[in-house]
Structure 1
Amino acid sequence: MSEVLRTILIVLLAGVAVTTIAIFASWWFEPSRRLRRALRRVLGGLPECEALDVSQGRAAGLDFEGEALAVLWRSGDAGLLYEFHEIEGAELIVDGKVLARARRDEPRRLLDEFNPGSERVTLRLVFADHRFPEFELELFGPGSLLSDAADGVRLGRRWLSHVEAVLKRPRPRPAPALQLEANEPPRRGDADDAEG
């Protein structure tokens, strides 16, 4: 009889262990946690401002101390890191229409009003990068973490404010071209003396 109880106890403990591991794995690989971990890894710490598009596996994060903006896709497996001087602007798009914008060397276009029943709110980030000039995140839509379009618009406005503050900063001066050698070219007589 004690052998049967021991077997039942072992089976129960194994079931509890497997269930615990499955719950932990589900928690660890949950898309929003995975994207946040990837942002922390790329930026080297917690971003001061983040936006997640879980349905598309995309994320963006701002690091003010490191003066960098990270954009990620494929659930954080791929991405780019931009320095602040490479940011050209941002747009807030509601149901396919650009309702607010902050662009370098342009006046900011403020969001006056929007339909609270909107179906999609998208943030478009624009960069001085010829290969990847823009990056879009759906802040609110099917599969969004946010509860309604108003939350998406609030998050988008916050991003526009941050981007506008970054754009107002002076761009760093480009480094001077390296001078290979400061000497004058040899004169004709010097070259003849060296040969003789």
Structure 2
Amino acid sequence: MDEAARLLTLLALVGGALTLAGTGMLWFLDETRRIRRTLTNALGRPPEPYLIVRGRGVGIGFDLPSNRVVVVWDRGAWRLDYSLDELMGVDLIVDRQVAARTFRGETRRPLDHLAAPTEGVRLRFVFDDPAHPDFSLDLWQPGDDDVRGRRHADEALEEANRWMARMEALLRRPVARAPAAPTTIPVRPTTSPVAVRPLPPVERDDREEDEPPWDDPDDGDPRAIT
């Protein structure tokens, strides 16, 4: 009996540990948490604001102090980084038609049709990048109403309209650009003047001031004929 009790206790402990490990793994690999971690790692801080579409594996996050935008797809496996001045505008597409839009330098086109969508609600972010010019997030598609954790049609439309207002306010802000680095002009080094040490004064013999020896009357002229 003691052996059987110990065995049952051991099996219970192992089962509890495996259950706890599995729960922790599911929590860590949760789609929303994975996308948020990717955005945080890319921006260097938690994104604010950000939008994640559960069930689609996509999201977008902003870091306003550093003027950066990051888009993520494939449940956080892939991402693209943009600067905020590369974001040109946003389209709100309802039932395959552009229902609202806001772009830099253009008058905003607000959403004036609030009827429940039937074919889909999509936000399309347009960037000034020839290689990757846009990024779309499907906030609602037919069939999402019956899936747990996804938005209903009315909720998706309200969320999209809220993001359109947020993007309009964001696109009106002047983008703080980093100051240009000062241009350095090379200067030819100049040769420093060499200090010339003055020569010591030469001591002169006072006799040099006298008359030449041949003018001395005491000395005879070697050329004189005696």
Whether TM exceeds 0.5 here: the answer is: yes
Question: Does the 8 Å contact 1:84/1:166 carry over to 2?
Answer: no
Q: Which runs of 5+ in 1 are unaligned?
A: 184-196
Question: 1: CA distance between counterparts of 2:73 and 2:155?
Answer: 22
Q: 1:172 to 1:122 in 2, by over 3 A?
A: same
TM-score (normalised: structure 2):
0.72
Shift of 1:91: 0.8
Total equivalences in the alignment = 184
Q: Which has the higher helix share?
A: 1
Please point out which of 133, 149, 157 is paired with 2:153: 149
Aligned-pair distance for 1:134?
Answer: 0.3
Indicate yes or no: 2:99 matched with 1:99. Answer: yes
- Give the corresponding residue for 2:46: 46
**Separation in 2, partners of 1:117, 1:89:** 22
Distance between the aligned counterparts of 2:129 and 2:159, measured in 1? 25
Distance 1:177 1:31 in 2: 42
Structure 1 residues 24 and 177: alpha-carbon distance in aligned structure 2, compared to 1, 3 A threshold: closer
Residue 17 of structure 2 corresponds to 17
Q: Could you say what the CA RMSD is over the residues aligned between the two structures, in angstroms?
A: 2.4
Q: Corresponding residue for 2:164?
A: 160
Matched letter for residue 84 of structure 1: L
Name the stretch that deviates more: 173-182 or 150-159. 173-182
List per-residue Cα deviations over 1:11-53 (Å, max 9, x = no partner).
Answer: 1110111111111111211212211221222222222222223
Overall identity of the aligned pairs, in %:
33
Relative to structure 1, is the Cα distance of residues 37 and 103 closer, same or farther in structure 2, using a 3 angstrom cutoff? same
Higher relative contact order (CA 8 A, sep 6+): 1
Gaps of 5+ in 2: 188-226
